[in-house]
Chains A and B, each alone.
Chain A
Amino acid sequence: MREISAEKITEVIKRLCIEANCILPQDMKSCIEKSLEAEPFPTAQGILRKIIENYNIAENEHKPVCQDTGAACVFLEIGQDVHINGNLQDAINEGVRQGYRDGFLRKSIVKDPLNRVNTNDNTPAMIYYDIVEGEKIRITLAPKGFGSENMSRIKMLKPSDGVDGVIDFVVEAVEKAGSNPCPPIVVGVGIGGTFDKCALLAKKALLREADSENPDPYYAELEKTLLDKINALGIGPQGFGGKTTALAVNIETFPTHIAGLPVAVNINCHVTRHVTEVI
């Protein structure tokens, strides 16, 4: 049994909050640079260049890439042979509190969805725990902006809708989102599970590197098909027209019920932030 202190977790979460918001991950940078090379439309090229200039300024000046520094989504894979000394949930929220305060990040969480008063420290975090083998903790911090979150959708398809139904629904979600989620976007797709599980799959799909592909060749191919169809819509960067509507489509799947085919589309923007540390 390995012991890990709650203080250690606070310290890591704090650091990851700041890093995730100020330094765009390498997978996103290379997707954006590649899309610029492939973009034929001059207006769109100009916007992609500004986007690159922006993340470079943010990194050099240690400033948030985007002013929506998001809801702090925290994913933990906790080894079953780890013992945490202290209150884990409090430790995570304390890390978020310190990170958002000391990193000059925006506090965007309201205490109640209808009686909207800001908590002023960006807590509580959205926390997801998985118990895995081993004696380590893998922490992923993914601040999620809401311009794109608001464009996300879920639908309970029928098994007979099949892969074509999935494709139609995903492409329709992106087309309806249009210029709102700050295209170029990253599209997280969850297929299978239950209503709730499917939404989580879509969110977890956004944690995977944007320049990676699904390990299952069938789904890797489906990711490519979806990306091509989305980039034929012509929405383009910021919705001003162009090829680059999406930078990547990531699919995650799970077994499901004989009667169902849930599909969730979690839309993220060109500021798709995720950073992982193993302790």
Chain B
Amino acid sequence: MTTTLEQAKTAAIPQGGGLHRRLNMATAMIGGIVFASLFWYLAHHFLDATSRTYSDEVAGSLTIGWIVGFWLGIGAFVAPLRWLIGRDNTRADDLYLAGQGQGTSRYWKFTTDHKVVGVQYIIMTMVLLGAGGILAMAIRTELIVPGNHFVNQQVYNGFIAVHGMLMILALIVAVAGPWGNFVVPIMCGARDMAFPRLNALSLWTLVGAAGLLLTTLAVGSLTMGWVVLEPIADQAGVGMDFFAMAIIVFTVSTTVAGVNTICTILTMRTKGMTLARLPIFVWGAIIAAALGLYAFPYFSLVEAQTLMDRTFSTSFFVANAGGTGWLQANLFWLMGHPEVYVILLPAVAALFEIAAVMSRKPVFSYRSAVAGMTGLAGLSILVWAHHMFTTGWAPTLGGPFMLTTELISIPTGLFFLVLIGTLWRGNIWMKLPTIWMFGFIANFIIAGVTGIYLSDIPLDDQLHGTMFVTAHFHYVFVGSVLFGAVSALAFWYPKVTGRFLNEFMGRISFWLTFIGVQVTFLAMFASGLRGMPRRYSSYAFIFEHTNLMTTIGAYIIMAGMLVLLGAVITSWNKGEPAGPNPWHANSLEWMVPTPVPLENFEVLPVITEDPYNYGEELVRS
């Protein structure tokens, strides 16, 4: 399966192949639309139109048609089908599939090269953040003054649900997608992921799911938050069916990606790359992937049950037919809490990596870093009912769940120890990645302390369901994860493009975003403390000032993000050239040329020590 770099260099576009070489995102969209129409037509004509669930059955069929057509149109099944009929891909076909000699068009295709997939994830993250961000601005604009002026309440409620879901998707992939794909295989000393075609499948499945999710807004009539609480979701229109199917498809993507990441890290490491010598980011990637494999099946399960309640008149969550909304809530949060750490861990692990490189020191207490991440992942599967303290479900479990939840402070504390210990008396190189890392540290403290309040039941009885909770998890997701993600982007951007992310624009963006986050979410804490519930489309006059502040802050964040977007776009071709190892780091991704050649290494390296030996030559000599 390996090729030499010579072959890769000399070959232009590999010859042979057929129809599948012409497939790309456009054919995928066409396939999706054609099949969706076909499925809609069949369902429309052959299902019982008098049934109560008729419109949901039709909508469900249509969404299945969309994803099947999208997969076919992007060429996801070409290689397995060819294998089935005994005409397996040739070496030339595989190289073509890896994107050889195709310039930028390979970014819009079912391309298997892990670096192409990484870049596709960067684009995907920005699209999802952009769409979710536009909805956030619409929500904040509606809330700028009391009363409903800008959008009607029904539309507003849909915005709330889709904003939440889009941002969750964006952050799940924000670090693990781009860098878990682009740098993890190189860090391990591998030529690609363990299953390159599954890698492409995970990316394009995500695109298909995002398409469904965005369509929910057009179809409308969503009446629930992104948690899709039952029985309220039962009142939603066909938008709910699109929403549920988008989640089911999305979990296919995360499962495929998770298995691939784990297999790559476990089996594809080069000679001498023992687990103890792994760059710490690789640990973050594998722990997050494993946690995702545990968590996301609950998500597709709960959405499948919701869909069945709506189409087949089952009654998993229907209270007056033997079901219960508490079952939905349990299943949802069994996914929902671990998911927070699936999002957080890759960002934290990237920051450990960045802290070491930028302060020119080894990661302080590497073992604490690994233990902290593992401990957090382990605990996270035992805390889900803290989201249900006020539901009235199983009050006797309040104490035990308070215990497990508060224990989370201990591994989280280790993260601070590792970061602070790594910076301690370092020779800190103040570049963009470092600046965003300091932003993370400042915000993550606030996220952590406010999390402690919410883990305490008497306090949660006051704060649950209010804007305080919303502000808390926005400090986690925007203040912490987004800052970590931008730090990682600034850090590895030169490896992708050969150029630095514009330092000046990056700093402007940092200050706007950092100040915006404080204004937005500190004011939101105050709204919640004063008594404003979440998911409100309007509010009483006593919440006027804090809401105005939050909206102003949100606009500042948007300005910061737009500057960042400008920096990412303008630096791509015109940024300051960076060379293969601009941060003078030691891990393998910096040892290969930029742009990284297909299959990464001419000769696989042999590893004799971990990548953190800054200053140790001095000590030894």
The reply to whether chain A is a binding partner of chain B is: no
Q: Which residues does B use to contact A, with CB under 8 Å?
A: none
